[in-house]
Amino acid sequence: MRMLVAEVLPGGFLAIGALFWLWRAGYTTNVSALLVAAALLQAGPILAVANEQSLWLAAGVLAVACSAVAFAERADPRRIMVFGGSLAAIQLIDPLGGFLAASLLPATLMIGGGHEDRQRQAGLYVILMFLPLITAGLLLYLALTHHPAPALLLGQQNAAGLTRLPPGLGWRLMPALSLAAVLAVPIWANRVWRSRLREDAAMRAVAAVALAVIAAVALAACLSVVRAPATLMSTAAPIMVAALGLRPVPPARTGAATAATCLALSWSCAFGASLLR
């Protein structure tokens, strides 16, 4: 039962959500399926499932990244509520979600910086922060009153207390460094293809989510409380999918080459980490 809740359900959501995101962007069904397969075969998702670790964090990151892109494209109340709701939900489904939401909220100024009506934009940011802050307050109350963390209901391992790794900051930062190496590929590929990162709000949104994930993992590592490395590495797959799904999409060969590079690099990082351990 735990495998169904912690791995099958989030894995299905991740696969279906990624497939729909790429198909919506303009890829054919075959190319979308190929890119999703390359994402799910990365080291993070495979090792997480092999070690019976949850994929809810990766599923939550996909929701955050896609809703951030939608918000960057057009900041209307519906999209900002979905974005805020995804930031609230990721705090509930994984212990690292709080770090991620805290890292990403300041970056929303970079995501929506292209909107002209500043007064309206400020109001939307207040709406955006409402749900994540309410959720953070609820989690704080549950912790102070010694109630179980909501993530326990989703079959999370160590949801009540984050996993502690062996001493040594270099080893604890390994997942953050690996994520930075893997996520640099789709970000760079999109910059080359689109050639207008500074003016492209959607690309800024993906870059902001990638930086927020890396910052959250690094911050948790500096505090000596981190999630299992495979769980953290699984977040690279949804961010790659979100980057490849930006419209207009690159040629299929460019997308396939980017996905293949991320796949090979993720396994190289995982293999290198196993040798250094």
Q: How confident is the model at residue 53 (pLDDT cuts 50, 70, 90)?
A: confident
How many residues does the structure list for the chain? 277
Distance separating alpha carbons of residues 71 and 270, to the nearest angstrom:
33
For position 83, what pLDDT does the model report? 93
What would the mean pLDDT of 148-157 be, rounded to a whole number? 62
Distance separating alpha carbons of residues 172 and 232, to the nearest angstrom:
11
Q: How confident is the model at residue 134 (pLDDT cuts 50, 70, 90)?
A: very high
Distance separating alpha carbons of residues 157 and 163, to the nearest angstrom:
9
**pLDDT digit string (tens) for 72-101?**
888 788 888 899 999 999 998 887 888 888
CA angle (236 as vertex; 150, 60 as ends), nearest 5: 25
Q: What predicted TM-score, i.e. pTM, was given to this entire model?
A: 0.88
Give the dihedral of Cα atoms 19, 25, 26, 28; nearest 10 deg. Answer: -10
Burial string for 196-218 (b: 16+ CB within 10 Å, else e) reads eeeebbbbbbbbbbbbbbbbbbb
Range picked from 140-154, 224-238, 249-263 for highest mean pLDDT: 249-263
| Per-domain residue ranges of the chain | 2-276
Contact criterion met (CB below 8 Å) for 47 and 233? yes
For position 157, what pLDDT does the model report? 52
**pLDDT digit string (tens) for 185-207?**
988 887 776 665 555 788 888 98
Q: Is the dihedral of CA 148, 151, 153, 159 positive or negative?
A: negative
